[in-house]
Structure 1
Amino acid sequence: MGAILNTLPLKDTDNLSHLSPNRADWLTSHADATGLAVVEVERLWNRFKQLTGSTEHTHLYPDNNALPNELSNDIFVKNLLKHFPRSKADPNSIPFGYFLLVMHWFDEASINDKLSALFIYLNNGDAIDAAMIAKLLKHVYRETKDDDIRLLSNQFMQQLGATDQGRLNMAQFIAGVQRCFAPGELEELLKFEIIPGHILEEANAVPSLQSSSSNLRDNNGIAASDLVTESHMKQIAHQASRRNWTKLAVTLGFLEYDIEAFIAKNNKDSSAALLELLQVWREQEGGLATKRRLKRCLEQSDLQDLAPILN
């Protein structure tokens, strides 16, 4: 994967490494250099801060510094970061600009390119065999017996069309995956959107920033009355906590271990856990934390009867 990602126009962001995130043009400068919209850069800056555990660090040091919270125990996140391009000036670091370019690539890459990168990610570009797949499955199905893991890995290899030697090269892997999945299903599985299309459309209704040359949007154009308030979140948390509210958390973009962490932090108090989760969501989304978006999420989570709270 590293070989693919190192073909990105990394030099276009090198001159941003000295900028402070406190500067007024922090988001717009990175947006212009990467071709992303300012709302996308803002979303990714919030994610980058989660990785560094800091609101000021513009470089991530995945080899030297432990990732915060549950991310430190996620082998897939750690392995993925190993493939990210590193700064020539500071070889141990991933600058924020490089992080943006990689995320942009994940958003726009073709199915073939994504499968090629996935193949390289799995075994550093070497042929895949059943033993390697077994190691991977062991991280996914941690309570499954070794014999069952071996059976699953052999079935995986057979379905993808492994050779008599029981190995898959890149071309065989790509062909096998495309053969096993319907095109639409495969596209959905590999889809990565920095910001979902319907949200970006909402942002596009806001006037562009005059100081920027790319498709940037000014979140200040959204009226304060359109944003979710603390009162809204408290009411939703109180009522939704009595039901299956984890579906709402997933719809808002949180992972299972995020939800478990909020529950543990709040001593299994569902109402308090959901309120904190909503507060984190509002902080991360900034000007995009609108009542309209939260209403849509409530509807998708079978909590549509709570939508009137946001009227």
Structure 2
Amino acid sequence: MGVYASVFHKSSGQILIDSTDPSQANWITAHSDACKMPVPEVQRCWGRFLLLQPDKNGNVHRHRFIKDDIFNRQLVQQIPVTEDGLVTFQTYCSAVYWLSNSSRETKLGGLYQTLACSSLNKDSLERLLQALYPKESQGGVNQLSSLLMWEMDTKNQGFIDEDQFIAWMKKLPQETLTALLHFSVIPHKLTAASAPQIPQRDVSVLKKDSVYL
């Protein structure tokens, strides 16, 4: 996410790392205020963050986020950390807020920064495609990367810049693009499960009542 991720820790201009910690009663509400997130969403984030075994100050070493996946590694490298290589819970919440609330244009820019890192040329595109399609032959990957370069690099620069990437992504079917970029802090199935249930009237009573309509 590059330049996009650099604003994560600046949420509302407040830095919470020195003013509260998980033992304080205001841990959740302070992050809710700073990151402009509803309390239930911050609670959801904290529950997920705890799985990474944060220290007593509520921070996690960045390496705990890394998995054996090229996309994961490139994404994690974009997350701002402290001088000690720690990801604060505030940064985590801000990143989640960004994923959930950013505009389509901003998300596409962040996706480009994650995929490209330094440059998105044919070689780097081939590496990404090989990771995405591990069963595809080298010839197939080479052919696909050449096709994508031809479609996206309309300026014949030898690489795909951010504007070209975003313009190409916007040509995808709207439902596909929406599904790709959609992110809910609290999954819909959990939200639906917690919604109050409306009691159902007995069908026989309904039929009886209908006589008087």
TM range (shorter): 0.7 to 0.9
TM-score (norm 1): 0.55
> Could you list the per-position Cα deviations for residues 27-67 of structure 1 after superposition, in whole angstroms to 9, with x for gaps in the alignment?
122112211111111111122223x33475611222xxx42
Q: Which position in structure 2 is the counterpart of 1:2?
A: 2
> Structure 2 residue aligned with 1:168, among 160, 165, 169?
160
Q: Which position in structure 2 is the counterpart of 1:67?
A: 64
Q: Per-residue deviation at 1:148?
A: 1.6
Measure, in 2, the Cα distance between the counterparts of 1:110 and 1:188.
14
Q: Does 1:77 align with 2:68?
A: no
How many residues are aligned here?
196
Q: Per-residue deviation at 1:125?
A: 4.9
Measure, in 1, the Cα distance between the counterparts of 2:181 and 2:78.
18
Q: Per-residue deviation at 1:150?
A: 1.1
Measure, in 2, the Cα distance between the counterparts of 1:185 and 1:139.
21
Residues 6 and 80, structure 2, Cα contact 8 Å, conserved in 1: yes
Residues 74 and 117, structure 2, Cα contact 8 Å, conserved in 1: no
Measure, in 2, the Cα distance between the counterparts of 1:41 and 1:140.
32
Measure, in 2, the Cα distance between the counterparts of 1:15 and 1:55.
15
Q: Per-residue deviation at 1:100?
A: 0.6
The percent of aligned pairs where both chains have the same amino acid is 24
Q: Per-residue deviation at 1:18?
A: 4.9
Residues 17 and 97, structure 1, Cα contact 8 Å, conserved in 2: no
**Greater RCO, 1 or 2 (C-alpha within 8 Å, sep 6+):** 2
Measure, in 1, the Cα distance between the counterparts of 2:95 and 2:14.
12
Q: Per-residue deviation at 1:24?
A: 2.8
Residues 11 and 34, structure 2, Cα contact 8 Å, conserved in 1: no
Q: Which position in structure 1 is the counterpart of 2:97?
A: 104
Measure, in 2, the Cα distance between the counterparts of 1:67 and 1:86.
13
Q: CA RMSD in A?
A: 2.8
Amino acid aligned to 1:60? V
Residues 20 and 26, structure 2, Cα contact 8 Å, conserved in 1: no
> Structure 1 residue aligned with 2:169, among 160, 173, 177?
177
Measure, in 1, the Cα distance between the counterparts of 2:173 and 2:153.
17
Q: Per-residue deviation at 1:105?
A: 1.0
Q: Per-residue deviation at 1:194?
A: 0.9
Q: Which position in structure 1 is the counterpart of 2:200?
A: none
Amino acid aligned to 2:100? D
Residues 42 and 93, structure 2, Cα contact 8 Å, conserved in 1: yes
Structure 1, unaligned runs of 5 or more: 203-288, 294-311
Residues 12 and 35, structure 2, Cα contact 8 Å, conserved in 1: no
Q: Does 1:153 align with 2:145?
A: yes
> Structure 2 residue aligned with 1:189, among 180, 191, 194?
180
Residues 5 and 95, structure 2, Cα contact 8 Å, conserved in 1: yes
Larger deviation, residues 106-115 vs 187-196: 187-196
Measure, in 2, the Cα distance between the counterparts of 1:57 and 1:142.
40
